[in-house]
Structure formats: C-alpha cells, structure tokens
Amino acid sequence: MSKPSVFVARAIFPEVIERLSAHFDIESNQADTVWTKAQLIEKLQGKAGAFTTSSERIDEEVLAACPGLKIVANMAVGYNNFDVAAMTARGVLGTNAPDVLTETTADFGFALLMATARRVTESEHYLRAGQWTKWNYEMFSGSDVHGATLGILGMGRIGQGIAKRGAHGFGMNVIYHNRSRLSADLEADCKARYVSKDELLAQADHLVLVLPYSASSHHAIGAAELARMKPTANLINIARGGIVDDAALAAALRDRRIAAAGLDVFEGEPSVHPDLLKVPNVVLTPHIASATVPTRLAMGNLAADNLIGYLTQGKPLTPLNPEVLSQ
C-alpha cells in the first residue's frame, strides 16, 4: 500500500525527516526556501499532511485549493497562522506544539527582561564601537529586577513560568491580567495577584506580554496603553507581533515615555519597523524565544508525532480542533 504524502514546509532536523519518512512519502524543504502562497499551494497538491512553522499561513484560499489535505501540524505553540474555523469547516485537523517549549521560552522571557532592564546590548554596542574610554559612575544605569513589580499580560503556561522565575528567583512582586483568573492554587504557586489591565499597566516596572495573538489582542498595547505605563517601566514582548503597535512603541521609546523595551516578535516580521531600529533603548532578537536545540527538536518531534498519530491511527496528540475527529 502506498504511504500518505506529507509536505514539510521548512528545513528541520534530519532526524525528524527520518522519522516521518518511515511512515510517509516526504517532500521536504531542507533548502529552507520561503514559498509564496501560490508555491505553497502547488507543493501541497496531493498531500495528506503538512508540517508547518508559524511562517506558513493556512487559510481558506489554501484549504480550498488543497482538497486532499487532512492535517496541518504546526511546529509552534502559537497558531495564529491557521484559520482554525476554516480548517474545521473543511474537516482539516490543525495541531500545535504546546508544553515542550514552556520552560525554555520562560527562560528567554527572563533573559530579555534582564537584558532590557540592565541595558546589556546597548552597553555592548558602545564597548564594541570603541567608545569606552573611561568608567563613569552613572554609565548605563538601568533598573533593578529583584524586588521590582513584574506584570504579566497573558497567564498561560509560559506566563506562569515567568511568574515563578520572578517571584521565587528574584523576590519580585508579581501581578497579572488574563482573560480568566487562575485558580487559587495556581496563583499561590506563582505568587501572583490578579489585577485589572489598567492596574497592570500602571503598576508594572517590567511588563511581559505572553498572550496569544487574535483579532481581540491586536494592538493590545498601543499609544493609550503605553501612556498609562510608568516612565521608568520596561516592556517585553515574547508573544506575537501585532499585539504591540510597533510604531507607537518606537515613538514612546524615542520620547522616553517608557524606559526601554525587549522584543522578540514584530509586526510583519521578519521586517522590523524602521523606527525601532533607530532607538537605542530597545533589545531586539529575531523570534528565538524557544531556540535551544533540545526544545526545537522536541517541537519538531511533537509536530511529527501529530502527523504520524493522526494519519496512521486517527490519534493526534495536541489537536486544536478536535471536533474534526468526530466529523
């Protein structure tokens, strides 16, 4: 019997390709070409499964043009590149890659917070540029992390990981806002206090964004929200581009309406708003919060397990639209 065909849209660990090849006819993109939508549609012809990253958009146009598609497995916890309602309507299963990246991503949220608060990249650029000719008592003074108020917007697994690092490791006062309040047990584990979004903006010394992107979180942090923050506050975005209005943030950083920002995600990435590149008080990284080899391998393996589980036994591990299973 012929094996189902699967398209792997981006380059991935060879061992993941090998695992997939045991079950499927694989067309892979180890050259890591970035496809246009038309090319992606062409590649998906005759494929039962697709292995994607957050760079590939799976929407109604793609689904309508690829009627053989049964599952799209995203190697990311975020899945705003999927139109899940359109997938469900067409009986296509979507899966994401949660849990395996939680601690690594929370580590990175903290790395970005600390680099931002203590002006690590800004001072390194100064040193590399040969500008360090004498020490001065106030050079690159930043803000304290220990004992400060840590605000978290979006208190899922990654948000909770950041809260625990802040509360237990750095003695921070942790406040959070989320669509729904955590249980008393989880709040106690995280030593976190639920507050309104307005109070979060007004109180946080370091505000970390970890909420999913959707139409309702688009520009959740714009000019009005930035104006409510302390002028000494730092903003960290490890969630998704589009949650922050990058133009408004660049203006707030330029005018020192907030102290600094640390950004791993951007509107329209891999493009970065040119005004963000002009301000010194921002730490910029290219969407790497989950980038350690063991974690990226675990994410790749989970996406592969979803394809194998669903296409060989009808049993995906982390379905986003499980209603497709009973259609």
Q: Which residues bind ligand GLV (CB under 6 A)?
A: 54, 76-78, 101, 290
In the set 165, 206, 287, 296, the catalytic residue is: 287
Token readout for 84 is 């899940």
In the set 165, 240, 273, 296, the catalytic residue is: 240
In this complex, which beta carbon is closest to ligand GLV, that of residue 52 or of residue 290?
A: 290
CB of 280 to ligand GLV, least distance (A): 26
In this complex, which beta carbon is closest to ligand GLV, that of residue 229 or of residue 283?
A: 283
- Active site includes 269? yes
Q: Are 263 and 234 in contact (CB under 8 A)?
A: no
CB of 224 to ligand GLV, least distance (A): 26
In the set 27, 61, 199, 269, the catalytic residue is: 269
Residues with Cβ within 8 Å of residue 279, at least 6 apart in sequence: 250, 253, 254
In this complex, which beta carbon is closest to ligand GLV, that of residue 178 or of residue 295?
A: 295
CB of 77 to ligand GLV, least distance (A): 4
- Active site includes 240? yes
Token readout for 74 is 């995203």
The alpha carbon of residue 201 and the mean position of all alpha carbons in its chain are separated, in whole angstroms, by 21
CB of 74 to ligand GLV, least distance (A): 8
Round to whole Å and give the CA distance between 50 and 53.
Answer: 10
Q: Helices 102-117 and 120-128: crossing angle, nearest 10°?
A: 60
Distances (CA, A) of 96 to 3, 79, 138, 157, 270: 23, 7, 46, 14, 21
In this complex, which beta carbon is closest to ligand GLV, that of residue 82 or of residue 170?
A: 82
Round to whole Å and give the CA distance between 40 and 29.
Answer: 11
In this complex, which beta carbon is closest to ligand GLV, that of residue 207 or of residue 265?
A: 265
CB of 50 to ligand GLV, least distance (A): 17
Can you point out the beta strands (E) in the chain?
A: 5-8, 25-28, 49-52, 71-74, 93-95, 149-153, 173-177, 192-194, 206-209, 234-237, 260-263, 282-284
What amino acid positions are annotated as catalytic residues? 240, 269, 287
